[in-house]
Structure 1
Amino acid sequence: MSLFTRIKNSIAADFHEALDKKEQKNPISMLNQYLRDCEKEVEKVRLLVERQNILKDEFQREIHQASQLAEKRKHQADIASKASESELHEFAVKEYQQYEERANQLKISLEKVSQDLTSLEQKYEGMKHKLKDMYIKRMELMGRENVARANHRVNKVLESNDGVQSSSRFTEMEGYLDRLEHQVNSSYRRHTIDARIAKIEKELSNEEKTHSLSS
């Protein structure tokens, strides 16, 4: 193995290793890149299908033109024969044979072009289906990645050192809400008791006044 080949292989290995690391770090990003590459390939095939269709149309036009010219020369050859114009008859017959041969050759080419077009269209449709499957796969992976990220965040909050602080904050908040509820209840009970006592005092005062007047 030459030095140049070893250097080239080493560079290629480093490049693929870098890609592998990038893929492990951000698989969705790499998948997006793969999808973009696939989209470009699908677009290339679409253009080839389009060109093949144009080529098929051109063959059909050439066949039609050659067939018309062949019929024209055949008719002219008949007229020249009836008029005993041997030179014109010979020329017309030769032209007829050439156009007829051209039309037959074009028909063979058209059949081949049509078969190739059918094959290309089938491959193109297959590529589109695969690309669609990859889009769906990306959606599935994104969904799983979201769940994984959420679970990772939850676990980090609840289990890590930072989670101890977060858990402590949750506990403090719960304690605060409990104290607040207790204060509200106490205030309610206190105001209720105060109202009841005030009512009793008023009733007692009225009774005393009534008793004094009656005495």
Structure 2
Amino acid sequence: MANLFTRFKYQLQADLHDFFDKKEQKNPVALLNQYIREAEHQTEQTGKLLARQGQLKKELEAQLKETANMLSKREQQLGLASASGEADLIAFAQGEVDAYMTRKIGLLSSIDVCAAEYFELERKFETMKHKIKDMKVRQLELMGKENVTRAHHQMDKIINKQEDTSFEEISLYIDDLATKIDKQYEVTTFESRLAQLENKQKLITTNDKQENHAIVE
């Protein structure tokens, strides 16, 4: 049963990897956008943890300052108690000095660890921000390549006559239309000239008739 579950898990992982590989091949820009969004979210969360770590470091330093002040105070009191010779006060003051000294040592160690961890977090945080900037540059490069690829594809479709209407077909259509317009213009011109001849002939005929009528009278 365990082997069957393991085989199913590995098969599912393989299917998911295959799905994302195909998705990346199909639309690498969209997948990169998703990566950038996820990276920005993770970086934002890391920034919050870094700020929290810085705040913890400040609180530890505040505790150390308070402890150092109390240790100094108890050491002075221990000196006074020792000078008074009162055993119970000496014991109490010594216990306080020991407690604050132990706390101070612990706080110093914690601050050192916290500072080292803060530095490491800060270094990785800066690295993450640089990675995001690099990915955004890559995003712009991919978008540029995608635009160029689409533009070439559209132009190739037109140039290679892969669309319903090509440049050559349009050119032939325009030439045919121009020829028809020229012929219509020629017909119109001929008709106009013929009409002018007819009008001229009619005018000559009318004038001849008028002249003949005048002679008869």
| TM-score, normalised with respect to structure 2 | 0.77
For 1:28 and 1:37, locate their aligned partners in 2 and report how far apart those are by CA, in whole Å: 14
2:76 matched residue in structure 1: 75
Residues 109 and 168 of structure 1: CA distance in aligned 2, closer, same or farther (over 3 Å): same
- Is 1:148 the counterpart of 2:149 in the alignment? yes
1:194 matched residue in structure 2: none
Larger Rg: 2
Q: Whose relative contact order is higher, 1 or 2, with alpha carbons under 8 Å and at least 6 apart?
A: 2
**1:48-197 to 2 correspondences below 5 Å:** 48-162=49-163, 165-172=165-172, 175=175
1:22 matched residue in structure 2: 23
For 2:174 and 2:60, locate their aligned partners in 1 and report how far apart those are by CA, in whole Å: 82
- Is 1:3 the counterpart of 2:1 in the alignment? no
For 2:10 and 2:112, locate their aligned partners in 1 and report how far apart those are by CA, in whole Å: 46
For 2:180 and 2:120, locate their aligned partners in 1 and report how far apart those are by CA, in whole Å: 76
Equivalences, count: 186
Q: Unaligned 5+ residue runs, structure 2? A: 190-217
Deviations 1:57-89 (A, max 9, x none): 111011111111111111111222222222111
Deviation at 1:52, TM superposition (A): 1.0
Residues 35 and 82 of structure 1: CA distance in aligned 2, closer, same or farther (over 3 Å): same
Deviation at 1:3, TM superposition (A): 0.8
- The alignment partner of 2:166 has SS state of helix
For 2:114 and 2:27, locate their aligned partners in 1 and report how far apart those are by CA, in whole Å: 44
For 2:159 and 2:84, locate their aligned partners in 1 and report how far apart those are by CA, in whole Å: 108
Runs of 4+ in 1 over 3 A off after TM superposition: 172-183
Deviation at 1:28, TM superposition (A): 0.8
- The alignment partner of 1:54 has SS state of helix
Residues 176 and 128 of structure 1: CA distance in aligned 2, closer, same or farther (over 3 Å): farther
For 1:51 and 1:125, locate their aligned partners in 2 and report how far apart those are by CA, in whole Å: 16
Residues 179 and 160 of structure 1: CA distance in aligned 2, closer, same or farther (over 3 Å): closer
Amino acid at match of 1:82: A
| Coordinate RMSD, CA, aligned | 2.6
Residues 82 and 173 of structure 1: CA distance in aligned 2, closer, same or farther (over 3 Å): farther
| TM-score, normalised with respect to structure 1 | 0.77
Amino acid at match of 1:13: A
For 1:122 and 1:178, locate their aligned partners in 2 and report how far apart those are by CA, in whole Å: 73
Deviation at 1:174, TM superposition (A): 5.2
For 1:181 and 1:97, locate their aligned partners in 2 and report how far apart those are by CA, in whole Å: 113
Deviations 1:164-192 (A, max 9, x none): x2224531575389679989xx9xxx9xx
1:210 matched residue in structure 2: none
- The alignment partner of 1:162 has SS state of coil
